[in-house]
Chains A and B, each alone.
Chain A
């Protein structure tokens, strides 16, 4: 965590600088509030109206978490199945790549038409968004298992099951985590987009309402919160990765010489 702060101060400084320029510009050029609010206005609104909009935040966070879990699990299962059954891999892999060319924005209204306004169409949108990076990177990781290690396992008489659990799965974990990191941010976008389609609650709804009543300050509050959730979620995955993948050589550990 300390490391993160150490590396994070530069972008943070740039961000603060940007905010200062933004604030000053709004004041100097006398920009109307409905057109572009100053950061200080946004923060004030964000704090004062918290009790009014917090249910939207919680609804979205819940949607993100459920969607991310469903999406990641299906990505993991599909990648594993495709890896273990080569015939399936050869026939399905191009289709999975192709599926990514369908714009979600276009697909979403159709899903609502088919499944109504409940949780299901929203979950499908997030799942579709999360699924792809995880399936592709995990499958890549599984396929790229070190050849020498594979030979060793074969020579030692390992069964297919031992090969998977003792070698392939573990060696693919770093790839899985790069997929999870991408999906973590995608899932936040997916959740907001799915809420635009129609929902009672959620930041997507809050944003639509704010923008149709020309409350640019509230739109920005929503944007800030979305960015913040994405970042938090991303950091959570990074933290998990560090906890789980402890065997990788990091320069820090080498100089400290752990034992």
Chain B
């Protein structure tokens, strides 16, 4: 069943075309990555889906209803962790619920514990490391009542190993909670490891260059990263992206 449908979205800033006729859809419970070069307009696309930016044309359909220019319909993890410095970890993860209505403290505490942050429930964000902040930011999204989660390069600021740990943690959370996820990244391996499907964006003006279904079985673990199949896929996507990335 189709959960979200992005229809013919175009966006220009000051006469400059950034997004050109973007089309794709996400099924219920699917994990889809959007892979695109820096500056291709991935964050812009998220702001349009999130309803806080108006596209020049096109429409966003969530469960058969247009959510264009309607904030509050999806759950969002921004590119920077964006935690509120005056809120404890617990109060931060409850913020999404608080804005929409009711707080559920017990579930929140359970998830904080599952994320290995039990000792930090009452800590302020400045006491956390980068990876911890990202986990808190993600828990906030999962606890928010909206069933579709947008993740904007949540792990780009982390080192290789922390990143792998976080990816596995993210997958386990997703498998447990069965939400639809759109994950933005410019890291090919990350997209391959996590997704059911990858949407490759072209250079500006950005459109969907290719959609690739990823057949790897779940649950996935680190070994997959070194398997031949994985490297084959990586090569193919790399070539695909390289071809469109014209030297400037």
Q: Which of B99, B120, B126 contacts A156 (CB 8 A)?
A: B99
Q: Does B229 contact A (CB under 8 A)?
A: no
| Chain A nearest CB, measured from B46 CB (Å) | 8
Residue B39 at the chain A interface, CB threshold 8 Å? no
A152 CB contacts on chain B under 8 angstroms: 76, 78, 82
What DSSP secondary structure best describes chain B's contact surface?
loop
Instruction: From the candidates B52, B123, B124, name the one contacting A154 in the complex (CB within 8 A).
Output: B52
Q: Is there contact, CB below 8 Å, between B82 and A148?
A: yes
Residues of A near B127 (CB, < 8 A) are 249, 254, 257-258
Chain A interface residues toward B at CB < 8 A: 146, 148-149, 151-158, 162, 166-167, 170-171, 173, 245-249, 254, 257-259
* Contact residues in A for B154 (Cβ distance below 8 Å): none
| Residues of B contacting A157 in the complex (Cβ-Cβ under 8 angstroms) | 71-73, 99-100
Residues of A within 8 A of B85 (CB): 171, 247-248
Q: Is the CB of B80 within 8 A of A155?
A: no
Q: Which of chain A's residues has its CB closest to B98's CB?
A: A166
Tell me the minimal C-beta distance from A30 to chain B in angstroms.
60
In the assembled complex, the CB of B186 is this many whole angstroms from the nearest CB of chain A, namely 19
- A156 near B119 with CB under 8 A, answer no
Cα A259 to Cα B88 in complex, Å, equals: 11
B122→A155 contact, CB < 8 A: no
User: Taking the nearest CB of chain A, how far is it from the CB of B54, in angstroms?
Assistant: 13
Do the beta carbons of A155 and B50 come within 8 Å of each other?
A: yes
Could you give 11 example pairs across A and B, Cβ below 8 Å?
Answer: A149-B84, A151-B52, A154-B71, A156-B72, A156-B75, A156-B96, A156-B144, A170-B84, A171-B86, A247-B125, A249-B126
Bound-state CA distance A82–B127 (Å) is 35
**Given A162-B99, A254-B127, A259-B123; A156-B86 close (CB under 8 Å):** no
Pair A248/B126 contact, Cβ less than 8 Å = yes
A247 to B124, CA, bound (A): 6
B47 interface residue per 8 A CB criterion: yes
B interface with A by C-beta (< 8 Å)? 47, 50-52, 71-76, 78-80, 82, 84-87, 95-96, 98-100, 119-120, 122-127, 144
Q: How far is the CA of A149 from the CA of B85 in the complex (A)?
A: 10
The chain A residue with its CB closest to the CB of B52 is A154
Give the residue of B71, B80, B86 whose beta carbon is less than 8 angstroms from that of A170.
Answer: B86
A247 contacts B78, C-beta separation under 8 Å:
no
Tell me, in angstroms, the Cα distance from A152 to B80 when the chains sit together. 10
- Determine the chain A residues whose CB is within 8 A of the CB of B144 once the complex forms: 156
Known: A156-B95, A157-B72, A259-B119. A148 touches B124 (CB 8 A): no
Provide the bound-state CA to CA distance between A202 and B172, in Å: 71
A148-B95 contact in complex given A254-B127, A258-B127, C-beta closer than 8 Å? no
* B125 surroundings in chain A (CB, below 8 A): 247
Residue of B95, B99, B126 ringed by the most chain A CB atoms within 10 A = B99
B86 touches A247 (CB 8 A): yes
CB of B227 to closest CB in A, whole Å: 37
A153 to B119, CA, bound (A): 27
Known A155-B52, A156-B95; contact A247-B80, beta-carbon cutoff 8 A: no
The answer to whether residues A167 and B99 also contact, given A151-B52, A156-B144 and a CB cut-off of 8 A, is no
Among B47, B95, B98, chain A packs the most CB atoms within 10 A around the CB of: B95
A197 to B119, CA, bound (A): 61
Residues of B near A170 (CB, < 8 A) are 84, 86
Q: How far is the CB of B30 from chain A (nearest CB, A)?
A: 21
Residues on the A chain within 8 Å of B73, using CB: 157
- In the bound complex, how far is the Cα of B73 from the Cα of A148, in angstroms? 18
Chain A residues with Cβ below 8 Å from B80 are 148
